Amino acid sequence: MSTNEQLFDRAQKVIPGGVNSPVRAFRAVGGTPRFIARGEGAWIVDAEGRRYVDYIGSWGPMILGHGHPAVLEAVLKAARDGFSFGAPTEREVELAEEIIRHVPSVEQVRLVSSGTEACMSAIRLARAATGRSRLIKFEGCYHGHADALLVKAGSGLATFGHPTSAGVPPEVVQHTTVLDFNNIQQLEEAFAAYGDELACVIIEPIAGNMNFVRTSESFMAWLRELCYKHGALLIMDEVMTGFRVALGGAQSLYAQRMQGFVPDISVFGKVIGGGMPLAAFGASRTIMAQLAPLGPAYQAGTLSGNPVATACGLATLHEIAKPGFHEALGERTRELVDGLKAEADAAGIPLAVDSEGGLFGFFFADALPHDYASAVAVDKERFNRFFHAMLDAGVYFAPALYEAGFVSAAHGQAEIEHTLKAARAAFTALRT
């Protein structure tokens, strides 16, 4: 049996940093990454046979937990029929119909293989539909690693974006404007300056890559109004929140509080693939008519709508659409975060918590952050100590301060109790 350390040594010789997605390298928290051998319900097992309560869930897709019988059966059947055809299948239609059935703002969808691909394509679609070039994104919101989105803001209103990744030429991001999250004044200034140039604004309703930071209702309402007024399209990136925080996504929660609220374009991933590489973007028929083969905006993918991936996603959506699913998931998630808060309070450790559906976050701070600057100001050193104490106790939170957490339907009372018992000891140790 290889150890995690041995596997990491091997991996670093053949894979940059030893991982295929950077946060997995544990560089933010230190230590050796855990190489996972298998998953069982709410648990994962590493190469050394150690078991952990899993609060990563493949960064969101595993809303039913690992190895759900109905999903496993659907995937095995699909795999026996064929891995890929490069031609349409009935299941692609069924998955599209299922997404549309639960998301009223979407009349048609295009299936792709990743959230990055979906966000990139949604922006291209918005530019084609409006005939404009400029886009607005918000600091701390992550929409994949497409060149035009790898930018950061300077202080105040950024006239032009600046790349945050080598290999992204400045001219590629010259039409990207980056604003502070939840800053209404900056939003108004940007629309006043660029309103006639704006193709779209892309936003996460709950930013999950600065841990868990909500878009305020007042900010979302004013953003929606400004987009209408200036003819820009509002793209809601629900790669993380879609079907996880509610059956209709986060947009359904805003619609309950804001009459008539709908985004123009929606992006989905994670849950709709059930753990397989699958994502989608959708909009009205009028907007989607801009896509090839109907319109001039080109988009294609060899493995888009893959028959095994669609089987996995469709089986997952059927399960989570059952009555009471999200209510029960939300209650279990709140039990977790409320329990963490209570244990921290008992130890005299500042901790702010929040959750929605099966998505949650916690911060070593006195209050919940509202933007990127306040999110990065929390106690990083204390988080790192807490992370390793929990990992040693068999609880796997994200190995980075700025990542949200995920609860699945497989997390039961035993898993929550195990987590809170470990947290009690970890918080006590943090006092020293």
Active-site residue (options: 46, 237, 354, 371): 237
Is 345 noted as a catalytic residue in this protein? no
Is 81 noted as a catalytic residue in this protein? no
Q: Half-sphere exposure of residue 101, counting CA atoms within 13 Å on the CB side?
A: 10
DSSP 170: G
Whole-number Å distance between alpha carbons of 179 and 204:
13
Residue pair 240/398 in contact by the 8 Å Cβ criterion: no
Whole-number Å distance between alpha carbons of 272 and 278:
7
Looking at this protein, which amino acid is placed at residue 32? T
Is 142 noted as a catalytic residue in this protein? yes
Q: Which residues pair with 36 in a beta bridge?
A: 46
Residue pair 215/354 in contact by the 8 Å Cβ criterion: no
Residue pair 281/112 in contact by the 8 Å Cβ criterion: yes
SS3 198: strand
Residue pair 177/149 in contact by the 8 Å Cβ criterion: no
User: What is the side-by-side strand order in the sheet with 395-396?
Assistant: 36-40, 43-46, 51-54, 395-396
DSSP 203-235: E-SEE-SSSSEEPPHHHHHHHHHHHHHHTPEEE
Whole-number Å distance between alpha carbons of 161 and 153:
6
Active-site residue (options: 142, 372, 396, 402): 142
Active-site residue (options: 54, 270, 354, 396): 270
Q: Which residues pair with 112 in a beta bridge?
A: 279
List the catalytic residues. 142, 237, 270
